[in-house]
Amino acid sequence: MLSQNRQHNSQCEHCTLSSACQSERSNGELQLNHMPHRIYHRGETLYSMGSPFSALYILRSGSAKAYFSSYSGEEQISGFYYPGDLIGLDGFDADTHAYSLKFLETSSVCSIGVDEFNKTMGESAVLRKQILKSMSHAILGEQQQLFSVNKYTSEQRLAKFLLDLSNRFQQRGLSGKVFDLSMTRIDIANFLGMAIETISRLLGKLQQEGIIDVQRRQIRLLNKERLNDSLVADEPAFKAVMHRATSRQHSSQLSYA
């Protein structure tokens, strides 16, 4: 659903990764040759856990989930991706992908081969900075998530999840108040570490309280204030912080800054 609202220029130079590079390009230093965009459909896989690490990707439209499966087939979702997000950083650790990536809806990605990436990293200080920043941000995001699982109740975690999504949509110029969930409740439950039933019940509860309105996959945030309040219930000073820190859910997004 994101794809409709966001108008991409057809040239890949307008991807966020290359936007980092454009400032250099104006210096005449840099040439990134992205591979052509490629379209994937719901349920299709970009790469699988264990497969060789050959490229980095930027999601241009649609959405995806990263997950690793624990051989019994059980999967743990580690994050969701939205347009502009950089995908594939997991490959650097062992030159092999550490998790699998699957699309939640029809999506398009562009890619850059590792070799070219490495080459460019050597040439562009701006790219280096961007990548370090991006990875650092990803680490902090994971820690935030860890924090929220450790310290929050299920209700707070769900509230945070919704607010995070809202922020991510807003950053992309979409509505932060009304949006669709491209993932199933099962995915949400898996990601947040709770039972599907709990998700269901809590969404119901929030709806009854008039804080949100849920129609199938469509979410309408009627009262972001109160949703945010639940995160800081007894901690007034904490409120401001949360508002700042709320942008995660993997997000290795590069620019848009």
Partner DNA sequence: CGTTCTATTGACATCATTCAACGCCGGTGG
Partner DNA sequence: CCACCGGCGTTGAATGATGTCAATAGAACG
Query: Which position among 92, 171, 201, 214 is part of the footprint of a second copy (CB under 8 A)?
Result: 92
Instruction: Please list every residue from 146 through 165 that binds DNA, using CB under 7 A.
Output: 153-155
Instruction: Please list every residue from 14 through 43 that binds DNA, using CB under 7 A.
Output: 42
The nearer residue to a second copy, 36 or 236, going by C-beta atoms, is 236
Strand partners, 81: 64
Query: Which position among 23, 106, 198, 246 is part of the footprint of DNA (CB under 7 A)?
Result: 198
Q: Is 71 an interacting residue with respect to a second copy (CB under 8 A)?
A: yes
Which of DNA, a second copy, none does residue 92 bind (CB under 5 to 8 Å by kind)? a second copy
Query: Which position among 95, 197, 209, 213 is part of the footprint of DNA (CB under 7 A)?
Result: 197
The nearer residue to a second copy, 68 or 103, going by C-beta atoms, is 68
Binding-site size for a second copy (CB under 8 A) equals 45
Instruction: Please list every residue from 62 through 121 that binds DNA, using CB under 7 A.
Output: none
DSSP string, the chain: -HHHH----SSGGGSHHHHHHHHHHTTT-----PPPPEEE-TT-EEE-TTSB--EEEEEEES-EEEEEE-SSS-EEEEEEE-TTBEE-GGGGTTTB-SSEEEESSSEEEEEEEHHHHHHHHHH-HHHHHHHHHHHHHHHHHHHHHHHHHHH--HHHHHHHHHHHHHHHHHHTTS-SSEEE--S-HHHHHHHHTS-HHHHHHHHHHHHHTTSEEEETTEEEES-HHHHHHHHHTT-TTHHHHHHHHT--SB--B----
Q: Give the binding range for a second copy (CB under 8 A) out of 5-13, 22-30, 120-128, 161-169.
A: 120-128
Q: Give the binding range for DNA (CB under 7 A) out of 134-142, 159-167, 196-204, 240-248.
A: 196-204
Instruction: Please list every residue from 163 through 222 that binds a second copy, using CB under 8 A.
Output: 190, 192-193
Which spans of this chain sit near DNA (rule: CB under 7 A)? 42, 153-155, 184-186, 193-201, 203-204, 214, 216-217
